[in-house]
Structure 1
Amino acid sequence: MLVTGDSLKLIEETKTTLSQTFKMKDLGELKIFLGIEFARSDKGILMHQRRYALELLAELGLGAAKPAGAPIDYNLKLTSRQFDNHVKHMKPSNNPSADQRAYQRLVGKLLYLTMTRPDIAFSVQTLSQFLQDPKKSHMKAAVRVVRYVKNQPRLGVLLSSSSEEKVSAYCDADWASCPQTRRSVTGYFVKLEI
C-alpha cells in the first residue's frame, strides 16, 4: 500500500492504525515497485520505467540504433496474413513470417511499458492484433516502437502535487481505418487532477 499526503503526522497515524489491524512492514520511501521507478520533486511524483526501457533496448541490440521520431509510421497499414491471402491474393513469399515467440515476447514487454508510457499505447494495441501469425513487417513496426522509446527512456506519468481540481479528456477516432474489418478505431483518455 502506498500512503501519501502533505501531513507527516497524519501519515504516521495512518500507518500506526493500519499496523494494529494488519500485519505489515514499512519499507520506507518508495523508489521501485514492480519495475516502475518513482522520482519525487516539488512538482509531484514521476512514475517511469527507464531501467526497463534501457534493458529492452540492450536485449534487442538497439543501443547504437537511431531513435525513431514517432512510435509507428501513421501511413503504415498493417494487415494480417489471412487478409493478404484472401483480399490481396498475395503469394506467401510476399509476406514472410516473423518468429512468433519473439514477436509475442516483444509485444508483451511493450504492453508492460504502456503502464507509464501512454504515448505508445495505440501502437502497441495495433501490434497486439497480430500475435497469432506475425509477419516481418509487424516485427519491424514493433522494433520501431522500441527505437521511439529510446528517444526518452525516462518519460513517464507525473502524479502532480498541485492542488488544482481539473478534469481533462482527450479522444480521437480514425473512421473506417481498420483495413480488415473497415471498422473505426477510437480511443479516449480521461485525466482527473485533484
Structure 2
Amino acid sequence: MKLVVTEYSVKVVLVYVDDLLITGNNQHLIDDTRKTLHNKSEKGVLLNQRKYTLELLKLGGAKPASTPMKTNAKLTTVEYDSIVRNNDNPELTDISSYQQLVEKLIYLTITRPYICFAVQVLSQFMQHSKRSHWDVVLRVLTYLKKTLGQGVLLMKGPITSLTTYCDLDWATCPSTRRPVTGYVIQLGDSLISWKSKK
C-alpha cells in the first residue's frame, strides 16, 4: 500500500460582525479573494439582515404590501377607546407574541430605516395591545416580504460632508395630540442614523 501526500491550497474567510479576516497557505488565492471582494463592492457595501428577515417572515404575513402602514392610519390606546366608547377594537388577551415581534422589528430597523416610523408607533402599545395594533405588525411583515433584499448602502469614496435632515408633524398623535418628529443623518452619501418619535 502506497500513501501519497499532496499539498492542498487552503483559503479561509472569517467574518465577525463588521470585521473580515482572509488567510490561507496560498498567497495567490488570498489576493484573488481580495480582488473579488473589491470588485463586488464598486458602489460600496450593502448592509442588510436578509436571513433575519426571512426568519421573521415565518411568524406571519401573507400577500406583500407596498408600504409598512396604511396612509393616515391612526392607532389609539385602550384608554382613548374607553373614553370615546369604541368597542370594535378589543385588547389582545395574550400580548407576548405582539411584544416579541415588535422587539424583533426594532432590531431590524438597524438596516431598515423605512420601517422606523411604523415600529416606533407599534412600540408605544407594548403593555396594552389591541387587534388593530396586531394587524399593523402583520402589515409590516408583508412589507418586508416585498422588500427582502433591501438594506443600507454605505457608499464608497471620500467623505466630504455630514448632513442632517429633520421634520416635524404637529399634533399628529390622536391620543395625546403630540407632534411626531424625525431625523436622518448622512455621512457623505451614506445613511448612518435615523429616528422617528412622538
TM-score by length of 1: 0.74
The separation in 2 between residues aligned to 1:126 and 1:96, in whole angstroms, is: 18
Structure 1 residue 174 corresponds to structure 2 residue 158? no
Structure 1 residue 114 corresponds to structure 2 residue 130? no
Shift of residue 164 of structure 1?
Answer: 4.3
TM-score by length of 2: 0.73
Which has the higher relative contact order, 1 or 2, with Cα contacts under 8 A spaced 6 or more apart?
A: 1
Structure 1: stretches of 5+ with no match in the other structure:
1-26
Structure 1 residue 77 corresponds to structure 2 residue 61? no
Structure 2: stretches of 5+ with no match in the other structure:
1-11, 19-36, 190-198
Runs of 4+ aligned structure 1 residues displaced above 3 Å come to none
- Identical aligned residues as a percent: 46
Structure 1 residue 46 corresponds to structure 2 residue 40? no
Shift of residue 33 of structure 1?
Answer: 3.0
Shift of residue 53 of structure 1?
Answer: 0.7
1:22 aligns with none
User: Over the residues paired in the alignment, what is the CA RMSD in angstroms?
Assistant: 2.1
Shift of residue 29 of structure 1?
Answer: 4.8
The one-letter amino acid of 1:100's match is: I
Correspondence 1:30-69 to 2 at 5 A: 30=15, 33=17, 41-60=41-60, 62=61, 65-69=62-66
Distance change (3 Å), C-alpha of 1:29 and 1:43 = farther
Q: Is the 8 A contact 2:159 2:187 kept in 1?
A: no
1:125 aligns with 120
The separation in 1 between residues aligned to 2:131 and 2:177, in whole angstroms, is: 23
